[in-house]
Amino acid sequence: MADVKIIVGLGNPGPQYARNRHNLGFQVIDILARRHNIDLSRSQNKARFGDGFISQRRTPDPGNPFGGLAERQKVLLVKPITYMNNSGEAVVPLMRYYDVTVENLLVIHDDLDLASAQLRLRPGGGSGGQNGIKSIIRLLGGEQGFARARMGIGRPPGRMNPADYVLQNFSADEENEFGLLRETAADAVEYWLFEGVQAAMNKFNG
């Protein structure tokens, strides 16, 4: 599959985890799939995924009755079905099968160390303790140069165990701000596809 980019959302498979904090990555993949009519029913290498095209939208030209659609990019939208800690077992085989380099990979994930409902893109680096990212780096042989979209969930209150906190659903009040965060993260991923990670950081890391 020529010139394909892989967008991975991290999470845990199964309906009992679907609305958890830890599944923000899956939730953004679902938004992208809906926006661009990409069917996520394919299974391969411990992943559920779909392939399709995402088109770049530019400012509409009043003189152009067909709107401002420009170039389009072939993508794979991926949800590992390995559970979070083994995400690399899904991601890395797909990268190798489709001959995708780390520069054409973006991973969306929740982040305990980022303030609640904050979005930060980064071009690479360590795992920051995020076990899904840690698994991907390990199976890439230590390679860290893939883009991330980090979605802050903040630290758990009081003495709550972080492992319990990430497996909680969002409260009704939190859904208001996290609903916006998911849509913004999807916007940022689309921007990354055509403008690159540095431009996406400049636009969305404000």
3-state helix, strand and coil shares in percent for the chain, rounded to the nearest 5 = 40, 25, 35
Tell me the three-class secondary structure of 96-164, residue by residue.
HHCCCCHHHEEEEEEECCCCCCCEEEECCCCCCCCHHHHHHHHHCCCCCCCEEEEEECCCCCCCCCHHH
Biggest alpha carbon distance in the chain?
A: 60
Q: How many whole angstroms separate alpha carbon 159 and alpha carbon 177?
A: 24
From the candidates 5, 21, 22, 46, give the one annotated as an active-site residue: 22
Encode pLDDT of 43-81 as tens digits: 998 999 999 999 986 655 555 555 555 689 999 999 999
User: How many folded domains does the chain comprise?
Assistant: 1
For residue 77, what are the domain limits? 4-204
pLDDT of residue 1: 44
pTM (predicted TM-score): 0.92
Buried b (16+ CB within 10 A) or exposed e, 27-63: bbbbbbbeebebebeeeebbbbbbbbebeeeeeeeee
Give the torsion through C-alpha atoms of 35, 41, 43, 48, to 10 deg: 40
196: domain CATH number is: 3.40.50.1470
Q: How many whole angstroms separate alpha carbon 101 and alpha carbon 98?
A: 9
Encode pLDDT of 70-111 as tens digits: 689 999 999 999 999 999 999 999 999 999 999 999 999 999
Split at pLDDT 50, 70, 90, the class of 13 is very high
Q: Is 109 a catalytic residue?
A: no
Encode pLDDT of 126-172 as tens digits: 999 899 999 999 999 999 999 999 999 999 988 899 999 999 999 98
Cβ-based burial of 97 (10 A; exposed 0-12, middle 13-18, buried ≥19): exposed
pLDDT of residue 158: 86
Q: Extract the tokens encoding 200.
A: 């996406």
